[in-house]
Structure 1
Amino acid sequence: MIKVRLNKRFTAFTIVFLILALSVFAAKYQMIEKVTSVYSGVRIPTGKNINEYDINAQLDPVEKILTATQKVRYVNNSNRSFNAIYFHLYPNAFKLEQTVPFEKGEMELAYPGGFEEGNITISSVKKNNEVLTHLVIGKGETILKVNLGKLLESGEAIELEMEYTVKIPPSYGRFGYGENTISIANWYPIAAVFDHKGWNLEPYYAIGDPFYSDVANYRVSMALPPEYTLATTGNITKKENKEGNIVWTMDAKAVRDFAMITSDQFKMLEDKVDGINIFSYYFEDEYADIALDTAVDSIKIFSESFGKYPYDQFSVAAADFFIGGMEYPNLVFIDEGLYREERKDILEYVIAHEAAHQWWYGIIGNDEVNEPWLDEALTEYSTLLYYEKKYGKEVKDQIYKNMIVRYYDAYRDNEPNGNEAVYRSINKFKDSIEYQVMVYYKGAMFVEDLRNQLGDEQFFKVLKVYFDKYKFKNADTEGFIKICEQVTNKELRGNFKEWLRYNKE
């Protein structure tokens, strides 16, 4: 995610310096540099050790109520036995103003018509038609605990059936509806990650992207009135008329989440790059081509720089979304207010940033609650690489200086005693401004310093090896450090400690 409306001061600063940087150089560079990729092939993982979701849903776009049945095949890939499985129920964070994932200063932007609740209600959980007891727990009732009745041993799988309804709130965020769109993200019960820390049951925090998940296979059907168009994770494999609705069927393999956005106003442009279908969903004819071209160029540049994009499609969707941009597998939401003459440069930046997230967090996952720097710093720096490969190094350097370094310096001048730690959990940041400055900007400055120390050959080799080792898995800071040191044969832990305040040995 990238915020471009943290406050008026941030927005004005970002727009001014990004436009200045681009306007001087954009016309000068047109060709995308060619980058030779060491790892040209990326296979979608197969096998029976991956979770599977089969969801049949229907949306009432008038009442904003979604009803669904969900089958989950959960695989215990740990070395422990479980008597219960935990799922995140993110929609319940929208029940109360006290638990919604927005800061106080964002509430008027998030709810321009005033607060109304959203939620998810679990009707039943079964195994082979046998009712299982379940509890809704945690802050904001955002955790579902399913008691299995007997132990699920290491290596075993279990199939669960769930029925639930989802009430979508009038929120201009990841999950909600506005004047033009209905955003259906973080909407279904998704299995919590079990790792060396145990079950990860963090609440839906207001700062950052508080998500952490394993890749899974999805088959999702969504019934909508015929005037609605759906942009979605995965491939649309079927559309059929059924009882006055169009039933859209999607298939997605090895993705970290599943999101959709729908509108009865969507128009669409499409293109193709390296066999990948690129879609741009929009409302206005003007600047829709910028969104499409940026998506095409981003997928090409990042595939060549890090490792091939492994999926068949990538979609950019304009949305009633005040935050700026948000990434999901194969799909990104973009604030429709950016599709304007005075903001078209920001539009390009935000789309490139969210496209980079397809690699950092999408294909390679990480704990975005406790180690948010790992995907956001790499993504922010990848956005700079997009400009370097497309427009030239001079453009990249100008944006880096005027947008990254200058804003970081301005923040430090105003907060001389501020916390300089980049490596920390999102709930340890005092607000989104501090989070963005440290995680995005200082994080990107660290990556730039790392590149300067290693040189381009070793730097890009590190990113390619990192991608190759952790694709479709969850990485952590320790893993990234080990890759850096193994590839370069250098002791780099001190750099992480100095820049990030990373003190683990």
Structure 2
Amino acid sequence: MRRKPPGLRTRSAALLLLLCVVGCGSAQSREMPAGPSTRRPHYQIEASIDYDLLALASSARITVPAAPDDPLRDVVFFIYANAGGLGGEDERRKNIVVDGVSLDHAVLPVALEGAVLRVRLPQAQSAPFSLKIDSHGVIPRGRAGSGGLADMMGSLTADLGAMLNGAAGASGAAGAGRSKPKNTDYGLYSYSGGMLSLGSFWYPQLAVRVKGKWVDQAPEGLGDVCYSEMSDFDVTLSAPEGVHIVAPGQAQLLPPANRRQVRRYLAGGVRDFAVLMSEDYVRDAKPFSVSGKSVTVEAYTTKTNAAQSGKAIQIAGQALQIYSRRFGPYPYDAFKVVEGPIRGGAGGMEFSGLTSVASTLFQGLEGQMNELAGSLGIAGLDKLLAAAFGPAGAGDGKGAKGQGAPPASDSADGLLKGMLGHQNEMFDSLLEMTIAHEVAHQWWAIGVGSDSVRAPFVDESLTNYTTMLYFEERYGRPVAERMMDLHLKTAYSTGRMFGGDAPANLATGAYKNNMQYAGVIYGKGALYYNALRRAVGDQNFFASLREYYEKYRGRLAGPRALMEIASARAPGAKVEALYRRWIEETHGDEDVGGGQSIGIEELLGRFLK
């Protein structure tokens, strides 16, 4: 997941702009296996979507791998649509309920506790077997205006709005005194802005099994909630005619039923099966040569943002080419960039072969800032934007190749102008940053799997640094250095203000708030790989990444896997000591440096004196 930048504000409209001051923070298969693999789960699902009532009904037949050396007496699934905090504040209510589970037509006892579905088997199973799971549910409606910049600030809006009205102390951390939610609702399972996103939350997803035990802890934390094995999917979806369905795999249009479209999707070797749909989607596409094969990059945007589809396609296509050269081949025949109703602090979300990107990232900064100002009851932002950016109050649209922020003086006005300019520069590169980040997840999260709940740095930190490699190869080292300053160092410095440094190897639920999580995982954790690259040299660094991808592709990697590969390739580089310092300890203040953030006390002192 690519997170939107956290930031801060004070009483004045001037500091409103600082809210955006830190870095943000799936597939078509070439072939579908002839039959279910005995080594990985196989999902055969039929689902019908009531687009008017925002409801769905599903029947899934899931083949569960089993073996004599690990006989199964129970099975655990996750229905992530029921994760605490998703689609409403009342955790007693569910978005999806299970109507029944059966094995060979025999009904089995089950327990659905939040997102965790436990199925007790009548006798131990030592060979692959299939469970039939019937369910139905609803898709929550997002609030009016969901997905705008104010909404993407998530829970921080209320805290920082209170700061503007004097309810928070000048040196207090945002969110002090307010309980942290179990999960952040990123809108991945919701309807908003004319778009319906089921993400991969809508079907029972088999839990990961490690050393004879299910990893069955309920999802909790600030980042991604999904953790899964590589699987095969055969999915048939029914929806009203006129609704554009976006999903992974080879699509086949079946005969309509009751004036409804019916489509079958086959996707092999994927970790999830995400679905998005809209009556307003516009499709654009372009082929790219990636590792000697043709990959079709598609963009699905609403009509309002269709002008940005070409840019999105070009970013994704170039990223696929760069990462395939560096790490190993991209395994699918297509990649899809899909506008989605994302909110709560996320800019994008990765799935196998596709990414969902927040609507706000396809839009300009001026309109988003004015919307944010309105949500907080602040007037006069147009004057501030004009002072910082000129009369138009918008970026130049050049993304990473922009000319940079205007210089700032030591005066309050000069500081403001400089900081607003940095915001414009950051926002101008954010769409490119987000898409390049989500494409990188096809290697780190989808290709090489890892536990994104209990060890989020394994995929997110590496993915964010991989995004810097995209900028380096496409635009040159100076631009990559600038992006590191804007999106990585600034993420850490701002996260430090609102939560402090912390080890990067913690579970998502261990961080104090979104800002600290983003600062440590997307900032400091990503910069660890820059330090590792300097320590072992480019040849060993990139060889280690290629070996890591080749060794763990289709599998699950532990937190130390890449470090151990790099250490073996460069035994004299003290790689393990570097890992301890950056990942297990707290030396970010000495090691990171840079960024575009200042302390809250200094900030308030300059603007509120």
Which TM-score bucket, shorter chain as reference? Answer: 0.7 to 0.9
Contact 2:6 2:22 in 1 (8 A): no
1:176 maps to what in 2?
190
Number of the residue aligned with 1:81: 71
**Displacement, 1:2?**
1.6
Distance 2:545 2:50 in 1: 44
Q: Secondary structure at the match of 1:325?
A: strand
Q: Which residue of 105, 127, 136 maps to 2:103?
A: 127
Task: Determine the structure 2 residue equivalent to 1:340.
Answer: 363
C-alpha change, 1:193 and 1:386, in structure 2 (3 Å) is same
What residue in structure 2 maps to residue 57 of structure 1?
A: 47
Match of 2:120 in 1: 147
Pairwise CA distance, 1:267: 0.2
Q: Aligned match of 1:271 in 256, 266, 286?
A: 286
- Report which stretch shifted further, 59-68 or 339-348: 339-348
Instruction: Return the alpha-carbon distance in structure 2 between the equivalents of residues 303 and 341 of structure 1.
Output: 31
Whole-Å separation in 2 of the counterparts to 1:266 and 1:194: 38
Q: Is contact 1:314–1:331 with CA below 8 Å preserved after alignment?
A: yes
* Structure 2 residue identity aligned to 1:497: R
Name the residue aligned to 1:21.
none
Larger Rg belongs to: 2
What is the one-letter code of the residue matched to 2:561?
G
Cα deviation 1:293-347 (Å, max 9, x = unaligned) = 1111111111111111101111011112123111111111111111124355211
* Residue deviations 1:240-280 (CA, integer Å, cap 9, x gap): 32221111111111111111100000001001112111110
Aligned pairs (5 A) from 1:6-405: 6=6, 12=17, 47-76=37-66, 79-93=69-83, 99-101=84-86, 119-137=95-113, 141-153=114-126, 156-171=127-142, 173-185=187-199, 186-196=201-211, 198-274=213-289, 275-283=294-302, 284-322=305-343, 323-342=346-365, 343-405=427-489
**Gap change, CA 1:298 and 1:13, over 3 Å in 2:** farther
**1:495 and 2:510 matched:** no
Bigger proportion of residues as strand: 1
Secondary structure of 2:52's match? coil
Distance 1:183 1:479, change over 3 A: same
Which residue identity does 2:245 align to in structure 1? L
Contact 1:120 1:167 in 2 (8 A): yes
1:394 shift after superposition: 0.8
State the distance in 2 between where 1:429 and 1:363 align. Answer: 27
Q: Percent identity?
A: 25
**Superposition RMSD on alpha carbons, in Å?**
2.7
Structure 1 length normalisation: TM-score?
Answer: 0.85
1:364–1:471 CA contact under 8 A, matched in 2 = yes
**Whole-angstrom CA distance in 1 between matches of 2:38 and 2:72:** 18
Q: Deviations over 1:52-82 (max 9, x none)?
A: 0000001000111111110011002694222
Which deviates further from its counterpart, 55-64 or 193-202?
193-202
Q: Is the 8 A contact 2:246 2:277 kept in 1?
A: yes
Structure 1 position 463 matched with structure 2 position 555? no
Q: Which runs of 5+ in 2 are unaligned?
A: 10-14, 24-29, 147-186, 366-426, 587-609
Whole-angstrom CA distance in 2 between matches of 1:239 and 1:383: 39
Equivalence for 1:484:
566
In structure 2, C-alpha distance between the alignment counterparts of 1:467 and 1:325, rounded to whole Å: 23
CA 1:215–1:11 in structure 2 vs 1: closer, same or farther (change >3 Å)? Answer: farther
Q: 1:324 to 1:414 in 2, by over 3 A?
A: closer
Shifted more, 7-16 versus 282-291: the winner is 7-16
For these two proteins, the number of residue pairs brought into alignment is 460
- Cα separation, 2, equivalents of 1:377 and 1:11: 28
Cα 1:194/1:3, change in 2 over 3 Å:
same
**Aligned with 1:474: secondary structure?**
coil
Greater shift after overlay, 115-124 or 75-84?
Answer: 115-124
